[in-house]
Amino acid sequence: MSPSSQAQAVRRLLDANLDRAREGLRVIEDWCRFGLDRTDLVARTKDLRQRLGQRHHDDYKLARHTATDAAAGMAHPAQQQRPAAQQVVAANCARVQEALRVLEEFGRGVDPELAAEAAAIRYALYDLEVDLLRSASSAQDRRQLLQQCRLYLVTSPSPRQEAVVEASLEAGVRLVQYRAKEGSSGPDGQPITDALRLQQARALRQLCARHGALFLVNDRLDIALAVDADGVHLGQGDLPPAIARQLLGPERLIGRSTHALSQLHQAVADGCDYVGMGPVNATPTKPGREPVGLDYVRQAAAESPIPFFAIGGIDAANLAAVQATGAQRVAVVRAITEAADPAAATRTLLELLR
């Protein structure tokens, strides 16, 4: 191929992928507008589409020649298997990302500004895609998924925190709470900062989104809002649930730690979506806290109108005793986070809970 023919081929390629990316973004934008009624997401998508349009120069369009395109009109059976709007949106996100990667690779030699813009938009779309996935989850979807969850993973600060959560999600966990209490240490051994909390919560939220799992933040309503979490888990000394509900809105989840039947009744009256009950056993994650034992769990199993999770030193060895009270759901920390094989530990617990 002569240099002039190669240059013409590259221009055709750039034109085709600019068209592909802009069309895909328009599909996403219209769903944000008419399907989700989210003007903020419309604005973000429109901005990406307009930025690409400004780089779609006339010499690329003039290189277009569909009559000689061997792949024009080529389809794939998978395109007929997207009955749900969310599948259409996901497919178009992937389509745009692929087109942007082509623009980035082939644009470097002929149009560095286009290549740089394509890279920036691709990374922006990664975040937008997660927000689209989260927006598609209505309050009903969240609460339905909560009802189905039997195993609840609560994180513990650790250099391998992200890897442990990912392994547990791949093994089947669908409810994760990020917890990093005051006094916790970061990977460097220094006291954890809010900047690191935000970074960790954002990474875990994205992992949960990719696996269709619920993601909650312990205590910190500000961080939950910042990362668009599915909700918060509140201790007895945290913000009242009514205040949290005003800030979170009706679609997100609120959980509450309880240690006695009176606290369970109050959580129900406050409109909480679920409660934690414990600690069932003494545990180093709650130093100095007297365990409530199994009697309270047995009472809750008989009286709780909302989902409840027994928590506190529960593992595969003592799970049967907890289940004997009537409890169907448990929350764990060390049983997964300190396991040599977190995925295997997760699978074992899920199998026992089934």
Report helix, strand or coil for 84. Answer: coil
Question: 208: domain CATH number?
Answer: 3.20.20.70
Residues 126 and 150 occupy one common structural domain: no
Residues 198 and 68 occupy one common structural domain: no
The DSSP code for 250 is: T
Residues 150 and 259 occupy one common structural domain: yes
Q: Is 257 designated active site?
A: yes
Residues 270 and 334 occupy one common structural domain: yes
Q: What is the pLDDT of residue 79?
A: 46
Question: Rounded mean pLDDT of 177-189?
Answer: 80
Residues 186 and 312 occupy one common structural domain: yes
Residues 37 and 115 occupy one common structural domain: yes
pLDDT digits (tens, 9 = 90+) for 207-246: 999 898 999 999 999 999 999 999 999 999 999 999 999 8
Residues 244 and 307 occupy one common structural domain: yes
Residue type present at position 131? D
Q: What is the pLDDT of residue 222?
A: 96
- Choosing from 49, 286, 304, 329, the catalytic residue is 286
Residues 169 and 226 occupy one common structural domain: yes
Q: H helices within 271-324, ranges in order? A: 293-303, 319-323
pLDDT digits (tens, 9 = 90+) for 297-337: 999 999 999 999 999 999 999 999 999 999 999 999 999 99
* 319 vs 330: CA distance, rounded Å: 9
Residue 88 scores a pLDDT above 60: yes
Q: What is the pLDDT of residue 264?
A: 96
Residue type present at position 42? V
pLDDT digits (tens, 9 = 90+) for 22-68: 999 999 999 988 877 678 889 999 999 999 999 999 999 998 876 55
Residue 197 belongs to what H/E stretch? helix 194-210
pLDDT digits (tens, 9 = 90+) for 145-157: 999 999 999 999 9
- Choosing from 44, 257, 304, 329, the catalytic residue is 257
**Domain tally, the chain:** 2
- Indicate the residue among 116, 136, 156 that finishes a domain: 136
Domain that holds residue 186: 139-353
Residues 185 and 286 occupy one common structural domain: yes
Residues 18 and 91 occupy one common structural domain: yes
- Indicate the residue among 136, 160, 180 that finishes a domain: 136
Residues 45 and 124 occupy one common structural domain: yes
Report helix, strand or coil for 277. Answer: strand
Q: Is 262 designated active site?
A: no
Residue 69 scores a pLDDT above 70: no
Confidence band, pLDDT 50/70/90 cuts, at residue 81: very low
- Choosing from 20, 174, 179, 329, the catalytic residue is 179
Question: What global pTM score does this model have?
Answer: 0.62
Which tops the pLDDT comparison, 284 or 57?
57
Q: What is the pLDDT of residue 344?
A: 97
- Indicate the residue among 136, 160, 194 that finishes a domain: 136
Residues 124 and 147 occupy one common structural domain: no
Q: Is 181 designated active site?
A: no
